[in-house]
Amino acid sequence: MSETETAHKAWNETWKSADGRAIWSEPEDEVRELTATLRDRGAETALDLGCGVGRHAAYLASQGFSTWALDGSETGIEHARGLTGEAGLDVTFDVGLMTGLPYEDVMFDYILSFNVIYHGDKETVIKAVSEIRRTLKPGGIYQGTMLSKRNGYFGKGKEISTDTFIYDDDGSGDEAHPHFYCNAGELVNLFEGFELISLHDLDHSHRRPKHWHWHLVAERLP
């Protein structure tokens, strides 16, 4: 585990409250929208990496994918297990970290990691991307987000290493933990070994003002 890989501890606290969980209960439209493409490509196995309280893991299992889900937060996994259990959905859960996935090489046709892998410094992100590449099949699809340098938090607080900031506003949010930001060119370099299918910078203003995130879909190259 890298020293900067600590944000899951803040999320563990967030997931303990109903208010904290409330805005993370419905699958994102873009995840639903990719389902038809995944089916066309014959995808069967899916990993929800950093699954939080399980909204996407539950969705993927409901769509017939053999689904695994991992998170660093034990509380998140507990709620995700509850959600899928109540719905009678079969998901294999693991508590673990994105920099050391407990999965075999080339196991997944699809890996989703929504608002997860930028939690840490550049080295942590590089390791997480390499774990995604290792566990994804050649031709498999990665869908995820990264923090954009347009984001209002970029440059705020203390820069602990290149493009990695901690911002301890009131001590309650995960900004007090390292977050890594990149521009489009830097993102393309981080995802060496993948071919981008789409890349959009979107403002998650429903969560906070100027909360820009890159949204990417990419194919793992052989």
Q: Which residues bind ligand SAM (CB under 6 A)?
A: 5, 7-8, 11, 24, 50-52, 55-56, 71-73, 76, 97-98, 114-116, 119
Q: How far is the CB of 222 from ligand SAM (least distance, A)?
A: 27
Secondary structure (H, E, C), 117-172: CCCCCHHHHHHHHHHHHHHEEEEEEEEEEEEECCCCCCCCCEEEECCEEECCCCCC
- Considering the complex, state which of residue 17 and residue 221 has its C-beta at the smaller distance from ligand SAM: 17
* 140 vs 178, beta carbon nearer ligand SAM: 178
With respect to ligand SAM, which residue has the nearer C-beta, 35 or 139? Answer: 35
> Which two structure tokens, joined as six digits, stand for 56?
């996407």
Hey, what are 116's tokens? 């997860």
Q: How far is the CB of 137 from ligand SAM (least distance, A)?
A: 21
User: What is the closest distance, in whole angstroms, from the C-beta atom of residue 8 to ligand SAM in the complex?
Assistant: 3
Using CB atoms, what's the residue nearest to ligand SAM? 52
3-state helix, strand, coil split of the chain in percent (to 5) is 30, 30, 40
Closer to ligand SAM by CB, 45 or 73: give it. Answer: 73
* Shortest Cβ 100–ligand SAM spacing (Å): 9
Taking the complex as a whole, the smallest distance from the CB of residue 6 to ligand SAM amounts, in Å, to 8
Instruction: Tell me if 31 sits within 8 A of 65, measured CB to CB.
Output: no
Alpha helix ranges (H) inside the chain? 7-14, 18-22, 29-40, 55-62, 74-86, 122-135, 184-190
Between 150 and 211, whose beta carbon lies closer to ligand SAM? 211
